Structures are given as structure tokens and as C-alpha cells.
Structure 1
Amino acid sequence: MIADPQLSVAIIAGTYRQDAESDFRDLPAVRNNVAKLGRHLRDPEVWGLPAGRCHERLQPRRDELLELVSDAAASARDTLVFYFAGHGFIHPRTEDLYLALAGARRDRGFGTKAVRFKDLQAALQEPSVEVRHKVIILDCCFAAAAFGDEMGVEDVDHKLRTRGSCLLVSSDADRTSKAPEGAEYTAYTGELIATLEQGVAGGGELLTLQTIHEHVEERLIAARMPRPRMLGVDVGGAICIARNRAPADRAVPPQPAAPTAETPLDEALSRVLAEKLTPSRRIQLGHALSWKLLPDYQPHPGERLMALIDDSWPTSRATFLAFTTRALILRSRGLSGAVTSVLSLADLRRAELRLRQRNPVGNAVLSYLQTAGTRRAQRVDRVNGLDVVVDDRPYRVPDSTLGPRATEDLIAEIRAAVLHHGHG
């Protein structure tokens, strides 16, 4: 379901011109970014935000921008979108991400000529804020520094503390974004605008943020541009603020449900799951399980749910591990609640599986028990968890009914099938 435009608010902001005191260059394309993106969000064929609920701000002052964000967050009830384009930079001592405003410098003026990302977060977390979903889009250098210290999912969940949030960024924590000289738009926003204008073939009637991100990522990588990042806290990737404008005749038709229509990869995935899993109260296995088992996930056309390992009790699905014909879905507990991560099969191709060891205190206790020769020590494993690491970013696998080693073996077999047959 698309977010209700009458109950949503968007802030589209950017800094395109710097003064003589600044050591940043002008970014003329940002002016076009803001105007075009705002126009699309107001377009009824895309989202249909009322003009009074779509605020465009060029060259904003720090206090003005923070006040606008605070007021918008308090007035929105469905979805709040915050977009910023311009220069981003890292404080040399605190390593916090700052968004550069007019007159910003890298050596001073952090409190007046720039906005600290943490201050924006504070505005989004005020007690008066009751909005369901928050979408943050940063098109600036070092934007992924907003993810937190180690770019870990749990770190971000702890920092954002926002159920149903989604953070989209144009570059990694140590990369600069691209704004080609003479281009109409910056590289990232240009592809975002193109996606809203042209739609995504096979993306369904509505475009989730996950679909938009994957499409933009694919186009940027093909153009040898920096890889964008996305982090959806809880079900953030399923937030929808756009209709798909791709013509129906260009859409990829849904795959038939009949087993005979399976691709070699589908067959290989089904075979691995059937060999490694035994159906039980906690483990559901089938050719095409009902999507009602994952009500917050919006599947792609033709995508099938093949297995669900529910680790919650009794059936709340607070944590689970799910396998589809397109993705691995992980829902684990973070520091401030459950976190859902969707890893595509393409992500699994370059993933590394990493077993987590118990902390030093736990290891010391185990060593003592083993030294004492207790029978219990022989049954205790020093491994207490599993991460799937993609592009140096760890995604926590829930504490599966299978145990971390068996889960590692299962995901490794799935990854091997993907590498052998391709990922579609």
C-alpha cells in the first residue's frame, strides 16, 4: 500500500552555492535535484503529495532546517521524507557526519554553517513525533557515515531508534559522491529521478524503497559510480512512496507457480532446503508458502516463499530466517527492537559467512569449566552466533532453531547454488 499523501510530509533540501569563505565548490546540479524531485513527489502519477506538504528548501540556514524537520515530523502521521543534497563531510575529531550549508568549512563553523546528522535525528525523535515511517535520503559525500561507527545493522538500529525507518545514501562512509561537471543532476539523484519517471520493469504497480534502491544501485554500478547504500530498520525497505510508471507491456510477467516452470536456480534452492530442513512447528517448507506468513514483506512479481524458520515464541515472528526465490530475509533483535534485513541473491554471491565467538568473559568461564573437566563444558560451544557479511557490513542472522553452525552450512549451500546457477 502506498503511503497516504494526505498524512505525509516531504522536505527536499539542498545547498548548491557556496560563498567566498567556504572551502567547498558550488554544486549547480543540486538546484535541479530539489526542483525535479519535489515535482515528482507532488505528481499524482507518482505519489501525489499536496503542495503544502512538500517543502523545497534551497540554501537553508541551520536553525531553519532543523525547525522545519521538527515541525514536519510532528505534523506527519503516515510517512516523513527528508532529502538533502550537497556536500557532506566528517568532523576530524568526533567523526560525526555533517551536512554542509552555505559558507561551510572543514576547519570551523560546525555549529553554524553545517548540520550534524545526529541533530537531525534528535529532531525526528522528539516526543511529539508519531509518524509511522521515516525515510532519509542523503546525496552527499561520506553519507554512509550516518549508519554509525562500524556500519553494523544493530548500531544503526540503536542510533535511529525508529521503527519502520529507511535510510538511503549515495555513497559509502569513506567515499565521495559524484556530481559530474555540467550534468543536469548529481549522479545518485539523477538515477533516482529517472526511476520515478520511467519506473522499474517487473517492479509491480507500486515501488518499494527496496525496489527503488536495487534499481538505482544497478544503474550506478553499471555507470562505474559509487555504490549507494540502504538500511531499512524493521520493515523500512517495504515503505512505498511511488507508483511504478513502467508501461505494462515492458513489465516482466510473473513466473508461473507450477513446479515445472522453475528455473535451474529455483530447483537447486528447493533441493538444498529440502535436504537441510525438516518441517516442524518452527520450520515451514514448501514450493510456494503463503505470503501471509510475512505480512510486512512486499514480494516481487513471481517471487515465491520457500522456507521460513520462525525463532520467536509462540508465533509472533519477532525473529525469523526466510528463504525466497529472490532473497534471504533476516529478522533479528537489535539493541532497540527487531531489525529486518533483506539480502538479494546477488548480495549472497559476494557474501562471507562469519561465526561470532563468545566474549572473552564467556571464553574464560568455558576454559575454567573445561579445565575442571565438567561434562557440561564438553557440550558448550564457543560459537554463539552467525553474521552474513556483504561489502564489509555484517548482517546478524537470528539465533536459529538449527544453531549457528547448521545455519552457516545451510546458507553456504544456498550461496553455492547461487554461484553455480547465477542469480537471475
Structure 2
Amino acid sequence: MSVLPDPGASRAVLVGTSRYDHLEQLPAVSNNLQALAEILCSPLALQLPPQHCTVVENPAAAHTAMAAVREAAADARDTLVFYFAGHGLIDQQDTLSLALPHTELGRVETGLPYDWLRQALLGSVAERHVVILDCCYSGLALGRMSASSSLADQAAVEGSFLLAASAETRTALAPVGDTYTAFTGALLDTLRLGVPDGPPLLDLGAVFRHLRVTLEARGHPIPQARDRNSGARVALGRNQAALPAPPITAGETAEAGQRLWPDPHAIRTVTGFFTALADVRVTSGLTHQAVSQRSAGRISAGTVSTLLNRRTLPTTWATTAAYLSACGVPDDQITQWHAIWQRLRDEAPTADTASEVAQQTEEPQTKRSWQRSFSAFRRERRH
């Protein structure tokens, strides 16, 4: 069964190199980073809190990117997403290295060895890992490697899903004049527009299949993927092509039970609780006013809005129960929601809240030289 990660217990690290001293420039990579960060933090995808999505553009050295990955690996308990866009280099031993601004051909020690990243991911406490590599030359590498070892096989991590662009040439990765690289552009379109006639949740398996068809039709290199331990079931968001769902009417209890409601068992944090709670309304296809009307006066439209925009758990259960019932959530699932609400109440203050407070109070100068949150990255891009 596909599952949306809990954004409060998940992290994303987006690394990209757009400027090179010795290799071809890739200006579209900068746009990749901004757009992907925006989507991952939006209702179109994982709805990550901005501080949970770290952007590292043009890292000066390998340790700069590795520091961000290690911090995210230590904090993520649900899903850890790693993305890289830029040149990829392969040495004579078929070892993948991600090119950084000062990387030189023939000197892979000047890049970021992928195996360093792989070891950091393997050491993470996160339950699931998503690795997305938009590297040029990866298709060439796949063709040169032995049958027992491909780039996708080498880069795979246990409990993960690996998605590799496998671009064969530099121009295929970043067509001249395009805003984004070919692979990432197709990925962004998939998250924004969805997959027609696709599943309600855009799990990585569905995303990969759609990207293969789309990129092949455009004459671009075909992406590669590897799935370990059902990593393909991790969803990057709801399928926008399947929204909005028709509103549930009285008497449609059977149909309501068949809807793909957010799974309360996937909730680990308060942030995840409210993200899933908002997703319930999206799944129902109802407006705030319609939810109020279906509650028989128990909650107003304003109360619905207030509930979905809270940052702390309600002290009582009644309003949340009325909201779930009015949206059409089956009674047995409402019972599960109540158990999650009670568990989170018992765990207060939650681990993710403590982590966020620590991040907010940490002296920013200690991180600014190597790491930027999504919010800081957007501010810089405006100037």
C-alpha cells in the first residue's frame, strides 16, 4: 500500500552544481533546486516544513554537502530524500563521483564520491530513503559497466528507491534555453500536474513509469530505477490529475470506505497529524463550508479552518472527531485517528517540536557557510 511520509519526521537534502571551473556550465540546475524545494514544501507533494528541506547549491567541497546529509540522516525518522543535479563522473573502477564546482576530469578526488553519501544513508535512522540523481553521463556509465554492476545498482541503498536520470549526453541533460534539466523538468511536471488515469497517490513506482513514457516520447534518455524493500510505495504527493474527488453525499458510505484516506498509522509527529488531517478534506472533495454543513452544525467553516491551521494538538477530541466524520472517514479509521491523537498527546513535547526549537535557536552563522534552508534560499534568489 502506498504511503505519504510524515513531513514532521522526514527530511530532504537537495544538492546541485550549476557553476564549474573546469566542466560545462549547467545554469538550469539552479532552477531545479528552487523549484523542487518549493514543490516538496507545498501541498502538491510532501508538505515538508521549510526547515526540513535543505538546499546546498555549488558546495565548495565534498564535506559541505556531506554535513547537510549527515544532519538530515540523524534527524529523519520517516523518510530521507536526497537529490543531486549536475555532472557525474565515473573512474576506471566504475565508481560514481558527483561533480562539484572545482571538480576536474580525471581527478575524481575533487568531486563527491557517491559511496560517502551511500554510507551516510545506510547509517540513517530513517525508515525509508529516496535517492534522485540527475547526473549527466550516467547513461554512458551504464553502458560501460559490467553486467553485474550498473550505476543504478551501485547507487541503491537498502530500504530505498533510487531514481537516476541516466542522461547520455550533456545536451540531453540540459537542453539549451530550457528552464530546467530534461529529467528534473519532467519530474516537476509530474508532481504539479499529476498522472492522468493514475493512482490517487503518486508513489515512486508510478512516478518512474510515467517519467519513462514521457522522456522516451520526447526523445530524451530513459531513466533508471531500483527498488529496495518496497521503496517504490513511498508517495511524493497526491495525484493532482485525480483531484478534486467528487464530494461524498449522504448514503455513499460504501464509496467513502473505498477512498484512499490518509493512513493514521503513518503519522509520527504533530506536523504529520495536521498535514494528514488537511489531506482528509482534499480526499473528501468537500469545501470547508460543505464540511460544516455535513457536521449538522457541530463545527462551523471557521472552526474547520482553525483546526487545519493549528500547530498544537487540540486539548479535546470532539472537534477533530466531528471533522473526520463530516468528511466521510469510516468509523473504524476515526478510532485509529483517536489513538494517534492520544499517543501524540502523551508524548508531548514531541521530538520533532524539540528539534525545530533547537534549529531555530541555533546560532545561524555556524551553518550559513555550508547550508541554507529553503526559506533562506528563496530570499537569496529574489535579489
Structure 2 length-normalised TM: 0.58
Is contact 2:138-2:166 (8 Å) kept? yes
Aligned to 2:74: 74
Question: In structure 2, what is the Cα distance between the partners aligned to 1:192 and 1:76?
Answer: 23
TM-aligned CA deviation for residue 250 of structure 1: 11
Aligned to 1:169: 164
Is contact 1:202-1:250 (8 Å) kept? no
- Is residue 213 from structure 1 mapped to residue 212 from structure 2 by the alignment? no
TM-aligned CA deviation for residue 45 of structure 1: 3.2
Aligned to 2:34: 35
Query: Greater share of helix residues, 1 or 2?
Result: 2
Question: In structure 1, what is the Cα distance between the partners aligned to 2:164 and 2:236?
Answer: 17
- Is residue 136 from structure 1 mapped to residue 131 from structure 2 by the alignment? yes
Unaligned runs of at least 5 residues, structure 2: 247-383
Aligned to 1:17: 19
- Does the C-alpha gap of structure 1 residues 206 and 151 become closer, same or farther in structure 2, counting only changes over 3 Å? farther
Q: How does 1:234-245 map to 2 (within 5 A)?
A: 234-245=229-240
Amino acid at match of 1:10: A
- Is residue 119 from structure 1 mapped to residue 116 from structure 2 by the alignment? yes
Aligned to 1:413: none
Amino acid at match of 1:188: F
TM-aligned CA deviation for residue 143 of structure 1: 3.2
Q: Give per-residue Cα distances to partners, 1:169-199, cap 9 Å, x unaligned.
A: 0016x66652101110000000000001101
Q: Give per-residue Cα distances to partners, 1:232-270, cap 9 Å, x unaligned.
A: 11211111121111144899xxxxxxxxxxxxxxxxxxx
Aligned to 2:96: 97
Question: In structure 1, what is the Cα distance between the partners aligned to 2:27 and 2:153?
Answer: 34
TM-aligned CA deviation for residue 137 of structure 1: 0.4
Is contact 1:148-1:156 (8 Å) kept? no
Question: In structure 1, what is the Cα distance between the partners aligned to 2:114 and 2:142?
Answer: 7
Q: How does 1:220-239 map to 2 (within 5 A)?
A: 220-239=215-234
Question: In structure 1, what is the Cα distance between the partners aligned to 2:142 and 2:116?
Answer: 11
Q: Which has the higher contact order (CA 8 A, sep 6+)?
A: 2
Unaligned runs of at least 5 residues, structure 1: 252-424
- Does the C-alpha gap of structure 1 residues 152 and 95 become closer, same or farther in structure 2, counting only changes over 3 Å? closer
- Identity, in percent, stands at 36
Aligned to 2:241: 246
Aligned to 1:51: 50
Aligned to 1:334: none
Structure 1 length-normalised TM: 0.53
Question: In structure 1, what is the Cα distance between the partners aligned to 2:9 and 2:208?
Answer: 24
- Does the C-alpha gap of structure 1 residues 222 and 155 become closer, same or farther in structure 2, counting only changes over 3 Å? closer
Question: In structure 2, what is the Cα distance between the partners aligned to 1:185 and 1:242?
Answer: 21
Question: In structure 2, what is the Cα distance between the partners aligned to 1:50 and 1:78?
Answer: 14
Amino acid at match of 1:102: P
- Over the residues paired in the alignment, what is the CA RMSD in angstroms? 2.7
TM-aligned CA deviation for residue 88 of structure 1: 0.7
- Does the C-alpha gap of structure 1 residues 147 and 242 become closer, same or farther in structure 2, counting only changes over 3 Å? farther
Greater C-alpha radius of gyration: 1
Question: In structure 2, what is the Cα distance between the partners aligned to 1:192 and 1:90?
Answer: 25
Is contact 2:44-2:192 (8 Å) kept? no
TM-aligned CA deviation for residue 84 of structure 1: 0.4
Question: In structure 2, what is the Cα distance between the partners aligned to 1:95 and 1:218?
Answer: 28
Question: In structure 1, what is the Cα distance between the partners aligned to 2:155 and 2:217?
Answer: 32
Q: Give the length in aligned residue pairs.
A: 241
